[in-house]
Structure 1
């Protein structure tokens, strides 16, 4: 059973060549429940905290629910409840803030940024490759540490419980968490740079390129469900349409060439529709937005490897009328 101190601040991993790519997503909008309802809820360790609402950087301008963690308490993911979810390479990702960076190993992770990051949300990812035993640690989208886990101290098996923030017998800091994700694959540096663009930028641009790929859109894997990280970019699209009331657009969905052609065509259309639904709920007239799905018909990068393939999974905005 894994109860590692390192997991007391959360991590994330991904194996880009894996055939199985499962993800458990926790955003706290529905308490400790998993976003897709496919995985078990997180469990409280120590004193139970409270859910509060606040604006979370990188998740948009509107308040959202986060979990406030008391001192020397935390959350736990029980891998033993899921058959073969994490059984080799894995990843743990978190967006959180800490009140006292002097506790546990934060100093090793954040270095000179320790004091300036205190009280602010930071993005932390750890990845472990089961074959090479290599561990990567990313902070705010950038690789800050990598090392071999020769003694398997960070191995997770089907009997493991993964603790976040809390370490038994050790005083740990209070804080708040807005997102936890778990993956059954490893993330290398090149893959990470594409996956975590939004966390690499110090500031989210208030302006939108009004004709082309809508950047920083994130969906549930293989589903047309937008993730909260998409909110800042969607807010930019909304602002553009609101400020230009005569503009009419077409949202064009695209996929890579993996999987069934017809399912990809359907998914690309539904993802474009998901973006439209967000905009119309904000007040943009439905008649101003057309949608179309192209599936894998119009790649903008090679489909030969995952690094470039993910560029083909996109939604484009085309202006039809100015």
Structure 2
């Protein structure tokens, strides 16, 4: 009986402890793991090529690397590896991207079913939609030492560049854990928001089934020359891994308010659509402005009209959205509204440009009974100016309107004067005066009930009609 108890004791101990293991992919003319105990990496889409590359970061040393085209990534099959990667791990990559002009996917844990995961954006590491790091030394066409680690007990996820921690947050919903598909994708875009991949090259990938301490991450970076140019000294993969535990289920992402206070950030995703057809607009331009209409960011949307922008928490944001063949629109989100929009995404709509159709400039305001423009008119005035600037052959006719209060003839004259005020603004911004004509209609063309105080202001407006576009 005692012997049986001792056997059971040692069996329990053996199931609860096992050696730390690591696998290394050196890309020496193949995609094999060097010990042969882990499966080779799989090619996503079409295979890249192996070639000698000069590594300036390693004193111009030459070695074999795997070169991949845009969105032609690699995949680690965790099921074929008997669940090698669990909820505690470290992944180390030495790679470069040829383009870093927008969001670029590095690692995907959910096999293309989620937009969440590891990206590089504007030279910063981030784990979308949870944490955005400070600017890191990541540049296009330069190799980067990139490390991500996750502690399964504390759920702390950390990301490093060149040995320095840049992102750290609590991965409460296991977004950084491989899901039921059992695969880990590198450099390959998801199916949610497209056009977020880059071509590039990778020199080494290491996968550890444990958390590598920050001091060891730093040492690994400092000894890059040894690990990349020579065979790295890492524990061999055990031939008898512990019994596989069920992989965690995919859970609903936390919202942006749950980000740690250390580096507060949130990301707004959205789509630009045709106001009339509700279809996506190809490659719209989204500008982020401050309250003084100074441009702070500019990005190009995808062919499906999709965009994604990172912001710091707690700021008001002003947008200007434009696209060929459409009239620009402006949007203002308060800090609270931006936080809410970042949870579910947003849709911006643009009105298609049509010859002879009247477009109302809803937010143009004048001093009561006078032609002087009020400051709040600037937003719509700038929209009209941007349209004229971006369509240099366009010619427009401005229409001025008033309500029916006061003398008819005075209102007619006032509507003409207000048209001249709008024209003067456009001319002051460089638009040729001969491209702008104008007419005043006074109170003769109401669009709302003049007998009701709440609707009468709608009749005090300026519209424009496109007379010529090309």
Structure-1-length-normalised TM-score: 0.53
Q: Distance in 2 between matches of 1:159 and 1:83?
A: 13
* 1:196 aligns to 2:221 (yes or no): yes
* 1:21 aligns to 2:20 (yes or no): yes
* 1:123 aligns to 2:145 (yes or no): yes
CA change 1:166–1:137 in 2 (3 A) is same
Q: Report the CA distance between 1:221 and its aligned residue.
A: 2.6
Q: Distance in 1 between matches of 2:48 and 2:141?
A: 17
Q: Report the CA distance between 1:190 and its aligned residue.
A: 2.9
CA change 1:129–1:67 in 2 (3 A) is same
Q: Report the CA distance between 1:91 and its aligned residue.
A: 1.2
Structure-2-length-normalised TM-score: 0.37
Contact 1:92–1:182 (Cα < 8 Å) also in 2: yes
Contact 2:57–2:143 (Cα < 8 Å) also in 1: no
Q: Report the CA distance between 1:219 and its aligned residue.
A: 3.7
* 1:37 aligns to 2:36 (yes or no): yes
CA change 1:198–1:221 in 2 (3 A) is closer
Q: Report the CA distance between 1:142 and its aligned residue.
A: 0.8
Contact 2:160–2:166 (Cα < 8 Å) also in 1: yes
**What are the Cα deviations for residues 76-105 of structure 1, in whole angstroms up to 9, with x where unaligned?**
000000224223311111000101112333
Matches within 5 A, 1:10-159: 19-57=18-56, 61-101=60-100, 102-104=102-104, 105-107=119-121, 108-109=124-125, 112-113=135-136, 117-156=139-178
CA change 1:37–1:218 in 2 (3 A) is closer
Question: Helix, strand or coil for the counterpart of 1:106?
Answer: strand
Question: Which of the numbers 127, 148, 163 marks the counterpart of 2:185?
Answer: 163
Q: Distance in 1 between matches of 2:120 and 2:40?
A: 26
**What are the Cα deviations for residues 104-142 of structure 1, in whole angstroms up to 9, with x where unaligned?**
33123175446x621100010000000000001010111
Question: Helix, strand or coil for the counterpart of 2:174?
Answer: coil
Q: Distance in 2 between matches of 1:217 and 1:72?
A: 29
Q: Report the CA distance between 1:59 and its aligned residue.
A: 5.2
Aligned pair count reads 190
Q: Distance in 1 between matches of 2:230 and 2:188?
A: 32
Question: Which of the numbers 226, 234, 244 marks the counterpart of 1:221?
Answer: 234
CA change 1:157–1:91 in 2 (3 A) is farther
Contact 1:24–1:182 (Cα < 8 Å) also in 2: yes
* 1:176 aligns to 2:201 (yes or no): yes
CA change 1:182–1:158 in 2 (3 A) is farther
Q: Distance in 2 between matches of 1:19 and 1:195?
A: 23
Question: Helix, strand or coil for the counterpart of 1:31?
Answer: coil
Q: Distance in 1 between matches of 2:23 and 2:48?
A: 22
Q: Report the CA distance between 1:57 and its aligned residue.
A: 4.1
CA change 1:95–1:156 in 2 (3 A) is same
Q: Give the alignment's Cα RMSD to 1 decimal.
A: 2.6
Higher helix share: 1
**Partner residue, 1:185:** 210
Q: Distance in 1 between matches of 2:31 and 2:49?
A: 11
Q: Distance in 2 between matches of 1:35 and 1:111?
A: 34
**Partner residue, 1:228:** none
Higher strand share: 2
Question: Helix, strand or coil for the counterpart of 1:91?
Answer: strand
**Partner residue, 1:209:** none
CA change 1:165–1:82 in 2 (3 A) is same
Question: Helix, strand or coil for the counterpart of 1:144?
Answer: strand
Q: Distance in 1 between matches of 2:235 and 2:88?
A: 20
Q: Distance in 2 between matches of 1:112 and 1:87?
A: 29
The structure having more radius of gyration, on CA atoms, is 2
Q: Report the CA distance between 1:194 and its aligned residue.
A: 3.0
Q: Distance in 1 between matches of 2:230 and 2:64?
A: 20
